[in-house]
Homo-oligomer: A and B are copies of this chain.
Amino acid sequence: MGKVITLLTDFGLKDSYVSEMKGVIYSLLPDVAIVDISHEVRQGDISSASFLLLRAYRYFPRGTVHLVVVDPGVGTSREVLCCRTENYYFIGPDNGVLAPAAENDNLKYIFSLNLEELPVALKEVFSGSFILEKIKTPSSTFHGRDIFAPFACYVSTGSPIIRLAVKKERMVATSLPKPVLTEGGVKGHIIYVDRFGNLVTNINVSLIEKDSEVFLKSGYQVISFGKLKRAYAEVKQGEPLALIGSFGTLEIAVNGGNASEKLNATVGDEVLVMKK
């Protein structure tokens, strides 16, 4: 072992899609460890997928290949990318899903896969593999199995990426908003709602001055949460609070409850942090 490939898709776990990707990966790399980041991304939700990748990527061993298949443009001419960063490889479609994580880890090179070279290069590296015959004519709707998975295996071996890809200067940018410094403090947005209904913002702890107060704009309402708390249990059961979440940014939560439902708030809503 030692090598890790992570998977992040919107395929769900009901069907066999994810398992087919894993079958291809184990066929080519019997000793790899495969970790699911999530397969429950909403269909085509590039923004949420890019957030999950940005959160999770850094907790994996150096050299991990992070493979993302949230790919509403499958079958069109959108490109297939591999980003080489300081510590990791990121593989996915050129739709912005890789950008936040790759840039966060000090992006070094962007490669665009040459689809015609892929089967040739695979044959060189994994000569004689049983599986190559089965994926050599890619399905037009499931590049995850037929293109992305074997490409990730190729990259995971450390083989030269330039053999089957060309460098490019730019990729599609992220649609995740950035926080803005204002006179009174910081203005940011909810960028993700987790399973517990916690409202994750893009306002990093480093932007928040001591004793600032937190506000949420939801529809016509402005809700105040007072100062940052340290733990859920600092407020009563069912009460809302603002705290720094495990992503290192401001989060709005309800102790033992669901903030998104209770506050009727969701991705895109504005959050303000006002200096004292």
Which of A16-24, A172-180, A212-220, A260-268 participates in binding chain B? Answer: A16-24
Instruction: Determine which of B15, B26, B56, B142 lies in contact with A16 in the assembled complex, contact meaning CB atoms within 8 Å.
Output: B56
A14 to B16, CA, bound (A): 18
Closest to A59 in B: B23
Query: If the complex has contacts A1-B31, A37-B16, are A26 and B61 also in contact, measured as CB distance less than 8 A?
Result: yes
Enumerate chain B residues within 8 angstroms of A30, measured Cβ to Cβ. 1-2, 33, 61
Residues of A contacting B: mostly:
loop
How far in angstroms is the closest Cβ of chain B from A37? Answer: 4
How far in angstroms is the closest Cβ of chain B from A47? Answer: 14
Closest to A23 in B: B59
> A56 near B245 (CB under 8 angstroms)?
no
> A15 near B194 (CB under 8 angstroms)?
yes
A76 to B229, CA, bound (A): 12
Closest to A20 in B: B59
A61 to B23, CA, bound (A): 7
> A231 near B75 (CB under 8 angstroms)?
yes
Q: How many copies does the complex hold?
A: 3
For chain A, the bracket of interface size reads: 35 or more
Asked if A136 is at the interface (CB within 8 A of a chain B CB), the reply is: no
Enumerate chain B residues within 8 angstroms of A76, measured Cβ to Cβ. 231, 233
How far in angstroms is the closest Cβ of chain B from A238? Answer: 13
Enumerate chain B residues within 8 angstroms of A196, measured Cβ to Cβ. 43
How far in angstroms is the closest Cβ of chain B from A79? Answer: 15
**A88-104 interface mask toward B, CB cutoff 8 Å, 1 = contact, 0 = none?**
00000000000000000
Beyond A16-B55, A27-B61, A74-B231, 6 additional contacts (C-beta under 8 Å) are A6-B23, A13-B38, A19-B37, A59-B134, A72-B232, A76-B231
